[in-house]
């Protein structure tokens, strides 16, 4: 299948625990490094790493970690251009806004691809620094326009695994093969209103970095899917075949696959999942590839039961998100843990919040966009655009729209007002979760929106064991303890 060999660190010993990719930098390099040092798969979030890089620099990079990683990047001229534009020694002055980063498109300028490559390189390089444990990166298939440059940057830093969900990642094996050999390639992109059109984003590695590049290790590719049907589909064609699967159930945090069948909602407005939405594990096992189960499995008993059922292990998110190693701001983590200890922290499945249209798990927290009144009061704008979708315009050209942008603008672009109702700007909110929220001209800062898994049993038990909070190491000690 691959034109270059699989990564040895994952092939030698498949991990029992995959630490899930979460948010914008909730699964930070620090968290992934802590997990990988223990021989389990530490995963950084690959979403919006160009934004994460520039905002860390504009906050002064006070510990020097970002510049330390940038010093290892193979093209110094790219590094110097980014530093000249974004580094602010000592950090931003109070009330000063972050510098905008260019929005994604199907014809990105060179500077856009350079920034995306560098942002992904930095996060993975830092996660891998100082140890030989396996590090992965998680992407959303929905954000197709960023994938070629993002994956290339991660591979330049030696990423061991690429995990992709929130869609059908049929094109990823070929993309990774081509990037490993530094070959110019194209990532197909879905365009609304033109399903049969020939659309895509091109990347030319030698043009970006120069000639004479040594071949890269081709990372293991794990497809994140919700059903045995999709797992079987992706294995039929060698060009689409992944190296393994994460089988994610509807109780997992973040985005969930929509319920099968006719959509219905419960008395609280949550999409209703049923038996059809649970993967048939025996049929997944029959596919013959390694797989990990995910979705409210963050307890030692769930780990053991998953392995007994034929899984290699589990992917776990919530207990790592609440650990001291995650990228969540200390203030948000403290509030979430206080609610957990009091027994009143609640996570609901919001069918409207995400501009992707996928159901999205939302922790109910006063003052965040989980509160409909706070969401409604926020001025609608789309200035980051990571979740914008390309669409075919009346004149045959390609435009970009997001259901979370101003309703009249979305409707002008061919969207419907109903589809825009209740949407939250996840790009800005998830950036605020990790202390990188934008400051507006009127002094307002962006509100957060936190996602966790639906079942808080594991987190509640850890809170009893560690009343003052817990580290990623303590999560692993607990999950992997013998019966």
Total-model pTM: 0.95
The first and second tokens of residue 347, run together, are 């996570």
The pLDDT of residue 2: 40
CA distance 248 to 302: 14
Tell me the percentage of the chain whose pLDDT exceeds 70: 98
The pLDDT of residue 263: 86
What are the distances in angstroms from CA 268 to CA 273, 277, 349, 350?
14, 20, 9, 9
The first and second tokens of residue 482, run together, are 């013998």
What are the distances in angstroms from CA 371 to CA 364, 437, 456?
7, 18, 20
Q: Does the structure show a pLDDT above 80 at 417?
A: yes
If you write DSSP's letter for every residue of 50-84 in order, what string do you get? HHHHHHHHHTT-TTSHHHHHHTTSS-HHHHHHHHH
Q: Using one digit for the tens of pLDDT, what is the confidence trace for 220-238?
A: 999 999 999 999 999 999 9
Q: Considering Cα of 157, then 162, then 165, then 170, what sign does the dihedral take?
A: positive
Q: Using one digit for the tens of pLDDT, what is the confidence trace for 18-48?
A: 999 999 999 999 999 999 999 999 999 999 9
The pLDDT of residue 1: 36
Nearest CA to 104 out of 390, 355, 323 is that of: 390
What are the distances in angstroms from CA 306 to CA 244, 274, 310, 329, 388?
16, 20, 7, 32, 36
Q: What is the average pLDDT across 127-141?
A: 96
Q: Using one digit for the tens of pLDDT, what is the confidence trace for 49-95?
A: 999 999 999 999 999 999 999 999 999 999 999 999 999 999 999 89
User: Mean pLDDT of all residues in the chain?
Assistant: 94
Q: Considering Cα of 212, then 187, then 139, then 119, what sign does the dihedral take?
A: positive
Helix then strand then coil, in percent of the chain rounded to 5, is 35, 15, 50
CA distance 365 to 431: 16
The pLDDT of residue 10: 65
Q: What is the average pLDDT across 121-131?
A: 98
- What is the total residue count of the chain? 483
Range list of β-strands (E), 357-397: 360-363, 389-392
Q: Does the structure show a pLDDT above 60 at 136?
A: yes
CA distance 266 to 373: 21
What are the two backbone dihedrals, phi and then psi, of residue 304, each rounded to the nearest 5 degrees? -65, -40
What are the distances in angstroms from CA 305 to CA 222, 293, 313, 339?
21, 10, 9, 29
Nearest CA to 18 out of 205, 215, 174, 220 is that of: 220
Q: Does the structure show a pLDDT above 60 at 5?
A: no
Which residues contact residue 237 at a Cβ distance below 8 angstroms, ignoring those fewer than 6 apart?
none
What are the two backbone dihedrals, phi and then psi, of residue 5, each rounded to the nearest 5 degrees? -70, 150
Q: Beta partners for 221?
A: 162
CA distance 14 to 181: 25
Q: What is the average pLDDT across 468-481?
A: 97
Q: Using one digit for the tens of pLDDT, what is the confidence trace for 159-200?
A: 999 999 988 899 999 999 999 999 999 999 999 999 888 999
């Amino acid at each position: 299948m691959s034109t270059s060999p699989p990564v040895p660190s994952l092939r030698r010993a498949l991990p029992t625990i995959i630490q899930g990719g979460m948010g914008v930098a909730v699964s930070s390099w620090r968290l992934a490094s802590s997990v990988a040092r223990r021989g389990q798969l530490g995963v950084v979030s690959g979403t919006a790493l160009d934004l994460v890089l520039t905002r860390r620099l504009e906050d002064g990079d006070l510990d020097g970690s970002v510049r330390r990683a940038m010093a290892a990047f193979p093209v110094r001229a790219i590094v110097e251009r980014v530093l000249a534009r974004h580094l602010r020694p000592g950090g931003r002055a109070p009330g000063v806004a972050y510098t905008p980063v260019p929005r994604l498109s199907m014809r990105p300028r060179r500077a856009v691809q350079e920034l995306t490559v560098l942002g992904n390189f930095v996060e993975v390089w830092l996660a891998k620094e100082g140890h030989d444990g396996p590090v992965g990166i998680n992407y959303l298939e929905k954000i197709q326009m960023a994938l070629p440059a993002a994956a290339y940057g991660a591979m330049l830093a030696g990423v061991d695994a690429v995990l992709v969900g929130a869609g059908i990642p049929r094109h990823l094996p070929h993309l990774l093969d081509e990037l490993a050999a530094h070959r110019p390639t194209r990532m197909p992109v879905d365009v609304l209103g033109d399903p049969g059109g020939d659309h895509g984003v091109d990347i030319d590695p030698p043009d970006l970095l120069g000639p004479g590049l040594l071949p890269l290790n081709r990372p293991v590719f794990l497809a994140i899917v919700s059903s045995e049907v999709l797992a079987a589909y992706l294995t039929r064609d060698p060009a689409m075949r992944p190296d393994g699967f994460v089988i994610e159930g509807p109780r997992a945090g973040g985005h969930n696959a929509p319920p099968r069948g006719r959509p219905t909602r419960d008395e609280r407005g949550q999409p209703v999942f049923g038996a059809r939405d649970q993967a048939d594990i025996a049929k997944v096992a029959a596919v013959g590839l390694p797989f990990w189960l995910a979705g409210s499995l963050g307890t030692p008993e769930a780990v053991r039961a998953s392995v007994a059922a034929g899984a290699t292990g589990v992917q776990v998110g919530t207990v790592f998100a609440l650990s001291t190693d995650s990228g969540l701001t200390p203030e948000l983590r403290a509030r979430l843990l206080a609610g957990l200890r009091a027994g009143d922290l609640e996570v609901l499945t919001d069918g409207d919040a995400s501009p992707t249209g996928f159901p999205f798990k939302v922790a109910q927290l006063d003052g965040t966009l989980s509160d409909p009144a706070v969401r409604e009061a926020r001025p609608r704008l789309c200035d980051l655009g990571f979740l914008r979708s390309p669409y075919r315009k009346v004149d045959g050209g390609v435009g970009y729209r997001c259901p979370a942008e101003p309703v009249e603008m979305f409707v002008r672009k061919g969207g419907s007002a109903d589809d825009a109702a209740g949407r939250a700007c996840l790009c800005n909110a998830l950036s605020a979760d990790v202390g990188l929220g934008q400051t507006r001209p009127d002094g307002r800062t962006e509100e957060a929106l936190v996602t966790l898994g639906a079942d808080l049993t594991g987190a509640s038990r850890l809170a009893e064991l560690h009343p003052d909070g817990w580290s990623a190491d303590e999560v692993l000690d607990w999950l992997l303890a013998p019966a």
